Structures are given as C-alpha cells and as structure tokens.
Amino acid sequence: MLLSTVAAGFAAASAPSLARAQAASEQATRMNALFDDMMVKLLRQSPEMATGLGLDKGDLAWTKGLLTDRSAEAIAAGAAQTRQQLAALRSIDRRALSGMDAVNYDTVEFVLAVQDEGNQKFTYAGGGSGAPYVLSQLTGSYQQMPDFLDTQHAIETKADADAYLQRMEGFARLMDQETLIAKRDYADGVIPPDFVIDKALIQMKSFADTPTADAPLIKSIVRRTTEKKIEGDWAGEATKVYLNSVLPALKRQIALLESVRPKATHDAGVWRLKDGADYYATSLKNYTTANLTPDEIHQLGLDMVKSIEAQADKIFKSMGMSKGTVGERMAELGKDVYDNTDAAKEQLIADLNVKAKWIEKQLPAYFGQLPKAPLEIRRVPKATEAGAPAGYYSSPSLDGKRPGIYWINLRDTKEQAKYILSTLTVHEGVPGHHLQLSLSNEAKGLPLIRKVIGFSGYTEGWALYSEELAVEMGVYKTDPRGHIGMLHDALFRAVRLVVDSGMHHKKWSREQAIKYMAETMGDEESGSITEIERYCVWPGQACSYMIGKIVWLRAREKARKALGRKFDIREFHDAGLLSGMTPLTVLETVIDNYIATRKAGK
C-alpha cells in the first residue's frame, strides 16, 4: 500500500516535468530543422560563403564556380525570405527552450529582426543597414573579389581552375549588378560624399590601369596552376575573360562614379540622406547589438577619453615624459617607426610573428580550450591598401585547410609606429580575433548557421577586451611604451564613439572629425583620414568595439563577484567563447547560465 502511494505521487509529480521536457524537445527539433533549411538557402544565395568556410566540395561542389546574385529580383526575394524565416522562428515557443537552445534562438532571432527592419525601412545599397553605399573605398566587389579569388578559392584540379574562370565572369556580372543598384540609389539621392567617391576612384583606376600581364586576377591562376602542374593555357583564358568582361564592367563603374561626382556633397554623415537619422539608429543596433542612443554613445565616448588619458598620463610620467598633452606625447612615441622600405616591412612582419608566438605560450593560463587553426601574418595587398584599415583578420576555413590571417597595412610605416604593434597583434591575432573566431569555428554542438553569423559588438568587443587582458598576461610587463600603445588603442576606440556619433548624429564635418581624432590620438593625419572616411561608409560599426569591451568586462566582474573563490578565468573565457558569437544582450544570458551552472557545482 505504501509503495503504491509513493509511486502514484511520483508519477503525478513527474508528469508535468516530462511533458515540459517533451515540449522543449519538440520546439528545439523544429528550430534546428529551420536552422538547417536557412543554412541551405544561405549557401545557395551566397556560394562564396561555402568557399570561405571550406565547404565547396562533395554535395556543395556546385557552389565553386558561382557568386552571389545581386539583381533586383534576387534582392527582393532575399528580403521576402528573411521576413518568412523570422515569422517561422517566432512561431516556435521560445518559453519552452532553455540553455543553448534558448541562446541559439535569441541569436538568430536578433539577426533576422534587425535585417528585416532594415529591409522594410531602407533601400540603400539593396536594403538592410550599416553600409549605405554599394560602391565606396571599402564596399563593392571590385574591392574584395580579387583577394577572395586569390586567397580563398583553392585551385587543386583542372575543375577548380575552370571554376575560377567561371567566377571571373561572375565577378563582371556582379559589378554590373552593383552598378544598377548604385544608379537607383543615386537617383534617390543616396550619393556617397565627394571624398568617398574620390578614394574609390583612386582604387578602381589603380585596378584598371594595372598592365594586363600584371593583373592579380590573371597572375593568381597562372601561378597556382603552374604550382599544381595543371595543363592548359590559363594565362590566355584568364586574359580573355579579364579583357572582355572584368575590365569593361569595372570601367562602367568608374564612369558611373565620375558622372555622379559633381552631384556629391562634402557632408560626411548619413543624417543628410532620406530617413538618415533612423538609418543611423538601426545601424547602431545592427553593429553594437546594444540599446544606446546616439547622444548616450557620444557622451560615453567623451567620458572614456578623459579616463584613458588620465591612465596614460600616469605611465608617461613614470617614463619621465610629463610635458604636453597625452596626444602630443603619443605623437612623440610615434616617431619611432620601421623604415618605409620593403626589407624593413618584411622585418616588421617577422618581429610580429615572434611576438605572436610568445603570446601563444601564455594562453594556457587564461583559456581552457585553444584553437587548432594556425595564425599567419600577411601584408595587405598593395592594390587595396589605399583604403584599407591598419589591420584586419580573415577567419580560417571550417575544414582546417586555410589558416587564420592577420593582415597588416604597410602602405606607409609612419602609420604603424612600433609602440602600437604589440597591441595590434593582440587585437587581430592572439588572444583577439584569431583565438575567438577559430574557437567559434571549432566549437562542438553549434548549428552551422551560428558559426557563420557574426556580431561586431561581440567580436570587436572581445578583441578590444583582449588588449586589456594582455596587460594581465604580462605582454607589457617590461614594456611601458607598449602599455602606452595599448592605452593608445583604447583611446582610439573611445574617440570612435565621439566621431562616429559626431558625424552621423551631430552633423560634424569630415575635417572636424579628423582634427579631433588626430589631436586626441597624436597620430599621423593620413591614418586619421583613412579611419574617418571608413566610419562615413560603415555608420555605427566603429562604436561596436568599446561598447562590446565594456560588456565583456562587466560580464567578467559579475561572474567574479557571484562565484568568489569558484571563479576561474579560463572557465569564464571558455563559457563566453565556446557558446559562439552572440548579440551582447545574449552574451549576458550566456554568462548568467555559466554562473548558475558553476554555483550548482556542475
């Protein structure tokens, strides 16, 4: 009698929990099936993504010779599909999900919602937010495709080389599609500032004026087919496509930009565009994944500039440098540079490799899991260095065949002072982008779509957080100049908050923004010009770094206080990194889950 009573009570208590578990499983199964379907569609719409991920083989071998379709019909279909996918995801019961299922839901829902908002509100550059000009010094396939074909499109067989030629034809088609988008935008008054057009034309004409025999697109296929001993007249075939398709399409873009140049204004911000204020607000949400107004961001930047300058002043005084503003003293350190010769630039890259190897040896004390993918440091191609940033990173492929690449811009070594190079290497390499993005690629149990969607607030915030972590790791223990370099780059990101919101919200001019940045940072004006012009074409993106860093630091302090002696920085980093890239609001949920699990002793 007693046993039957206990059993009945147990069954009654278990039934609701079993029902909840079953419901959660059903909702998670629906969600993951939707994610798989979204990924299939994404690879069909962006075949070069399969190449970038190292997946353009086997069932996806058909993607190898194709590129994205940016026709008006394809853009409209993509916007409709985003809306449908958002509705499908929201039909899933979010309340039934927990743990990583909830994190996955919230992450993908954020992406679809922001993209749909941009598609519904704006037509700039084909819809969305964050990049209003389809052609600029940083946007447009002319700027990205030659490097993509050279460094990501692998050539191992004749079929690969044929696919390369097919993609050269696709490149020409893509440029013409962009030209049509740009024409429509220009008719609606969405014209880039005059200085953006001028910089884009410099790069386009450099591309077009390169002697055919020296064209990177041709040299790439010739070099690699020769290395693999793939027979065929690859130089002749590539030259034919280049002269008949690629070059004419590029020249049509040049002619379009030259024709619209007289109509361009010198105003830097998107405030001047139709619905420009709303566009900037949506772009901020897109990039920062936080809920801060332009005015709040501007004031945050001003406050942080003062705080970081105070920290730098203390270190300068300890070095015996007490005269002048912080910017002026940084400018003094900035005079110590490598010679502006190819030999010195090779030595610079060799020295960065030594630094990266030393840092890698310190990582096990701060991270439980380390990336398998190797890191390479390369010079930004000369053809695109005029408009490229000081450094950037390309993720390794999912199949492990392509390394992570940290690109450094060496057009002029005066822009790469020695005292900031360690911090640049921390940011772009380890423990910054290379460690974070490689671990995201290698993380187990994440749906593929979670590995291909990124968030600037998370990734750039992590890289900037890593710069401060490097102080704890001892990177600057015997290098006060390098520590100043770290503060220089922190100051740089605080300044970004000021100038980005200044131009796009407060109607600052390009010159006002350049002056504020150069004087505050003590940098070469040429570097400040490149940065300011970058923010003009990617409104809001520059704000993601510091806001992301603040959230990472806040999350770490929250975990430290909550866990006390149980806090382990390696576990904290693994929790935040192995959950994959997320909006900053979702990152806070991830860390809350980690705290709860650790408190429970699991």
Name the pTM for this structure.
0.90
457 with 289: CB under 8 angstroms?
yes
Whether residue 5 has pLDDT greater than 60: no
pLDDT value, residue 524: 80
For the beta carbon of residue 126, count every other beta carbon within 10 angstroms.
23
Q: What does pLDDT average to over the chain?
A: 94
- Residue ranges per structural domain of the chain: 2-121, 141-266, 281-549
**Averaging pLDDT over each range in 58-62, 169-173, 377-381, which range is the top one?**
169-173
Whether residue 11 has pLDDT greater than 80: no
181 with 134: CB under 8 angstroms?
yes
88 with 65: CB under 8 angstroms?
no
Q: pLDDT class for 399, splitting at 50, 70, 90?
A: confident
pLDDT value, residue 390: 85
What does the pLDDT look like over 335-376, one tens digit per residue? 999 999 999 999 999 999 999 999 999 999 999 999 999 999
pLDDT value, residue 480: 96
Q: In the chain, what's the furthest Cα-to-Cα distance?
A: 95
Q: pLDDT class for 72, splitting at 50, 70, 90?
A: very high
pLDDT value, residue 84: 98
Q: By three-state DSSP, how is residue 407 classified?
A: strand
What does the pLDDT look like over 141-176, one tens digit per residue? 999 999 999 989 999 999 999 999 999 999 999 999
Whether residue 10 has pLDDT greater than 70: no
Mean pLDDT of the 420-441 span: 96
| Cα of 145 vs its chain's centroid, Å | 17
DSSP code of 57?
S
Q: pLDDT class for 189, splitting at 50, 70, 90?
A: very high
